[in-house]
């Protein structure tokens, strides 16, 4: 195992005595897929040390389990936040971002999904959609304050969905239905976005199937409905674009100004004569589109890191491990060196400076043939 390192810089170790400096910070790991009842996965201190020992410099922390991170306490106690930061620093990592994916999902739930999504809420709120929604909104507002107390710049969540059952236009959608749905979604999220604006934190929606924000077009609809809110931003995860056959590199070109978070997660899409994007209700191993451990799928991470570096992305590169085949701990071990190898040192000068010369206005005019 790699030794834990002080996470003071955005450096990524690529050898025993050599580091790569990058505007992109990393590697980091999302803890949600690893939290469990057994050590070291049952408390933040041991999770942080486990991640550091694997070579990670940051941890993205879920907030749905108070045993790992007490969101309500963090929103009211600077002392608790300082204690959490100290625990992470002692282990050799820092918190990259907090996550409210499950709580964000509950901000907007269509009744068809009530029973399934009730499990994301505390037991006393189940079968009470109005109370569940109010709780979810309050959770997001707590996350804004907690992020501010921890000195974080971005936060991860889901948008929830009022329209997902209408994603395929059959039966025909009545005129104005989509616009009305996004107006309601915006109404629910605007107070939350304002809370994040007050806290100075970007709220990043993971563009994800099952959410009303699942591609560029739907994100644009939402952005228009929230009046181009400056804190409405994107968590970019290319795996979800592979599964819907969307050009994830062109997506970066279009929306790089709004991309404030990045999940390093792989996927593959192998359609055949039986099944394609929709999956035929099959399990993950049998679907054409499958999540794979980082490096085992089809995502072109070299091009992604190149584009993000080109556009000056300065957030974290966070492994989100999900795979239908590989053991999670093997995936975690492989993830840190994989991310480290992708980090790019931004060029400090033009590559052809050796062939350059002095420049002034008079010389430029001569070169242009004006004198």
**Does residue 360 sit within a domain?**
yes
**Does residue 108 sit within a domain?**
yes
Cis check: omega of the bond before 179, within 30 degrees of 0: no
**Does residue 1 sit within a domain?**
no
**Does residue 351 sit within a domain?**
yes
CA distance 27 to 96: 10
**Tens of pLDDT, residue by residue, the chain (371 residues):** 333 333 333 444 333 334 445 689 999 999 999 999 999 999 999 999 999 999 999 999 999 999 999 999 999 999 999 999 999 999 999 999 999 999 999 999 999 999 999 999 999 999 999 999 999 999 999 999 999 999 999 999 999 999 999 999 999 999 999 999 999 999 999 999 999 999 999 999 999 999 999 999 999 999 999 999 999 999 999 999 999 999 999 999 999 999 999 999 999 999 999 999 999 999 999 999 999 999 999 999 999 999 999 999 999 999 999 999 999 999 999 999 999 999 998 887 878 777 777 889 999 999 999 98
Please count the structural domains in the chain: 1
**Does residue 6 sit within a domain?**
no
Q: What CATH number did the domain enclosing 72 receive?
A: 3.20.20.150
Strand-pair category, 289-292 with 25-30:
unpaired
* 92 contact partners, CB below 8 Å, separation of at least 6: 4, 5, 6, 7, 48, 49, 52, 57
Place of tokens 């970019």: 236
**Does residue 2 sit within a domain?**
no
Place of tokens 């997660």: 265
**Does residue 255 sit within a domain?**
yes
**Does residue 48 sit within a domain?**
yes
Give the domain range for residue 241. Answer: 12-367
Cis check: omega of the bond before 40, within 30 degrees of 0: yes
User: The dihedral of CA 272, 276, 281, 282: what is its sign?
Assistant: positive
User: The dihedral of CA 19, 21, 26, 27: what is its sign?
Assistant: negative
CA distance 213 to 251: 14
CA distance 287 to 277: 8
Nearest to 31 by CA among 79, 74, 69: 69
Residue 355: Cβ within 10 Å count: 7
Cis check: omega of the bond before 27, within 30 degrees of 0: yes
């Amino acid at each position: 195992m790699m030794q834990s390192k002080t996470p003071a810089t955005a450096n990524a170790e690529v050898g025993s005595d050599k580091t790569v400096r990058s505007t992109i910070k990393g590697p980091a790991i999302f803890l949600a897929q690893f939290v469990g009842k057994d050590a070291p996965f049952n408390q933040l201190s041991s999770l942080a040390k486990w991640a550091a020992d694997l070579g990670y410099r940051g941890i993205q922390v879920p907030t749905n389990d108070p045993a790992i991170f007490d969101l309500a306490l963090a929103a009211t106690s600077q002392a608790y936040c300082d204690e959490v930061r100290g625990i992470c620093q002692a282990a050799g990592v820092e918190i990259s971002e907090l996550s409210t994916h499950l709580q964000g999902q509950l901000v907007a739930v269509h009744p068809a999904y009530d029973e399934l999504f009730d499990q994301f809420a505390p037991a006393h709120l189940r079968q009470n959609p109005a109370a569940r929604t109010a709780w979810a909104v309050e959770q997001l507002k707590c996350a804004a304050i907690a992020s501010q107390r921890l000195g974080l710049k971005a936060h991860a969540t889901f948008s929830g969905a009022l329209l997902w059952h209408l994603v395929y236009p059959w039966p025909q959608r009545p005129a104005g239905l989509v616009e009305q749905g996004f107006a309601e979604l915006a109404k629910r999220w605007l107070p939350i976005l304002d809370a994040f604006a007050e806290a100075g934190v970007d709220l990043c929606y993971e563009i994800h199937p099952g959410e009303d924000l699942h591609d560029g077009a739907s994100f644009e609809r939402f952005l228009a409905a929230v009046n181009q809110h400056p804190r409405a931003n994107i968590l970019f995860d290319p795996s979800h674009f592979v599964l819907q056959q969307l050009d994830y590199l062109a997506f970066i070109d279009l929306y790089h100004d709004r991309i404030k978070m990045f999940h390093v997660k792989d996927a593959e899409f192998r359609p055949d004569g039986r099944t394609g994007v929709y999956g035929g209700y099959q399990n993950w191993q049998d679907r054409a589109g499958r999540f794979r451990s980082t490096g085992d799928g089809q995502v072109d991470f070299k091009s992604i890191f190149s584009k993000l570096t080109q556009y000056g992305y300065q957030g974290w590169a966070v492994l989100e491990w999900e795979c239908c085949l590989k053991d999670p701990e093997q995936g975690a071990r492989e993830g840190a060196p994989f991310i480290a190898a992708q980090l790019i040192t931004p060029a400090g000068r033009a590559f052809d400076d050796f062939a350059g010369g002095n420049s002034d206005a008079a010389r430029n005019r001569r070169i242009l043939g004006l004198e």
